[in-house]
Structure 1
Amino acid sequence: MKTKISAYQLFSAIVFVPYGSAVLFFINPEAKQDAWIAILFYLLPAVILQILYTSLWQKYPDDTIVTYIPKIFGRVIGYLLSLIYIIFFAYEAARVLRDFTELIAIAVMPKLPLIITSVALMIPVGYSVFKGIENVYRLTHIFLPLWVFFFIMEWIFLFTTPHALHFHHLKPVLENGIITPIKESWKLITFPYGESILFTMLFSSVIEVSKIRKAAAFAMIFQGILVALNTIMFISVLGTDFASETLFPLLQTLRVMKIGEAFDRVDILIVLIMVVGGFIKISFFMYGAMLGTAQLVKLKDTKYLAIPFSIVVLITSLLIAKNYPQHIFIGQVLTLTYIHLPLAIIIPIAALLLYYIKNLIKKRSRTRMK
Structure 2
Amino acid sequence: MKTKISALELIASIMVFENGTAILFYLAADTKQDAWIAILIYTIPAVIMQIIYTSLWYNYPNDNIVTYMPKIFGKYIGYFLSIIYILFFIYDASRVLRDFSELMLISSIPALPLTLVAGVLIAIICYATFIGIETLCRTVVPFLFIFLFFFILTFFFLITTPYTFNINNLKPILHSGLPFIIAKGWILLTFPFGEVLPLTMLYSSVTEPKKVRKSVIMATIFEGLIHSTNCIIFISTLGLKFASTSLFPLLETFRLIHVGTAFDRLDILIIIVLLFGGFFKISFLIYAAMLGTASLIKLNNVKYLSIPISIIVLILSKLIASNYPQHIKIGFDYTAKYIHLPLLIAIPITALIIVNIKKFFLQKKNNNKT
TM-score range, shorter chain: over 0.9
Matched, 1:314 2:314: yes
Letter in 1 for 2:264: D
Report SS of the residue matched to 1:257.
Answer: coil
Report SS of the residue matched to 1:256.
Answer: coil
Alignment of 1:269-288 (within 5 A): 269-288=269-288
Report SS of the residue matched to 2:204.
Answer: helix
User: Distance in 2 between the 1:277 and 1:363 partners?
Assistant: 46
Cα displacement (A) at 1:294: 0.2
| Alignment partner, residue 342 of structure 1 | 342
User: Distance in 1 between the 2:257 and 2:22 partners?
Assistant: 20
Cα displacement (A) at 1:361: 2.2
Cα displacement (A) at 1:357: 1.0
Report SS of the residue matched to 2:255.
Answer: helix
User: Distance in 1 between the 2:210 and 2:359 partners?
Assistant: 24
Alignment of 1:181-192 (within 5 A): 181-192=181-192
CA contact (8 A) 2:199 2:284 kept: no
Cα displacement (A) at 1:287: 0.3
| Alignment partner, residue 10 of structure 2 | 10
User: Distance in 2 between the 1:21 and 1:42 partners?
Assistant: 18
User: Distance in 2 between the 1:255 and 1:207 partners?
Assistant: 42
| Alignment partner, residue 230 of structure 1 | 230
Tell me the percent identity.
53
TM-score, length basis structure 1: 0.98
Report SS of the residue matched to 1:150.
Answer: helix
Letter in 2 for 1:144: L
In structure 1, the gaps of 5 or more residues are none
Cα displacement (A) at 1:369: 4.8
User: Distance in 2 between the 1:209 and 1:366 partners?
Assistant: 28
* Runs of 4+ residues over 6 Å off in structure 1: none
Cα displacement (A) at 1:74: 0.3
User: Distance in 2 between the 1:360 and 1:41 partners?
Assistant: 33
Cα displacement (A) at 1:177: 1.0
Matched, 1:77 2:77: yes
User: Distance in 2 between the 1:220 and 1:369 partners?
Assistant: 43
User: Distance in 2 between the 1:262 and 1:219 partners?
Assistant: 34
| Alignment partner, residue 95 of structure 1 | 95
CA RMSD, aligned part only? 1.0
| Alignment partner, residue 201 of structure 2 | 201
Cα displacement (A) at 1:366: 3.8
How many residue pairs get aligned? The number is 370
Cα displacement (A) at 1:368: 4.2
Report SS of the residue matched to 2:333.
Answer: helix
| Alignment partner, residue 243 of structure 1 | 243
Cα displacement (A) at 1:73: 0.3
User: Distance in 2 between the 1:22 and 1:88 partners?
Assistant: 18
CA contact (8 A) 2:39 2:224 kept: yes
| Alignment partner, residue 139 of structure 2 | 139
| Alignment partner, residue 115 of structure 1 | 115
Letter in 2 for 1:322: S
Report SS of the residue matched to 2:300.
Answer: coil
| Alignment partner, residue 129 of structure 1 | 129
Cα displacement (A) at 1:56: 0.6
User: Distance in 1 between the 2:218 and 2:366 partners?
Assistant: 40
| Alignment partner, residue 326 of structure 1 | 326
Superposed CA offset, 1:25-79 (max 9, x none): 0011111110000000011101111111111101010100100111010000000
Letter in 2 for 1:197: L
Alignment of 1:297-308 (within 5 A): 297-308=297-308
| Alignment partner, residue 176 of structure 2 | 176
In structure 2, the gaps of 5 or more residues are none
User: Distance in 1 between the 2:59 and 2:27 partners?
Assistant: 34
CA contact (8 A) 2:89 2:285 kept: yes
| Alignment partner, residue 357 of structure 1 | 357
TM-score, length basis structure 2: 0.98
Superposed CA offset, 1:274-310 (max 9, x none): 0000000000000000000000000001111011011
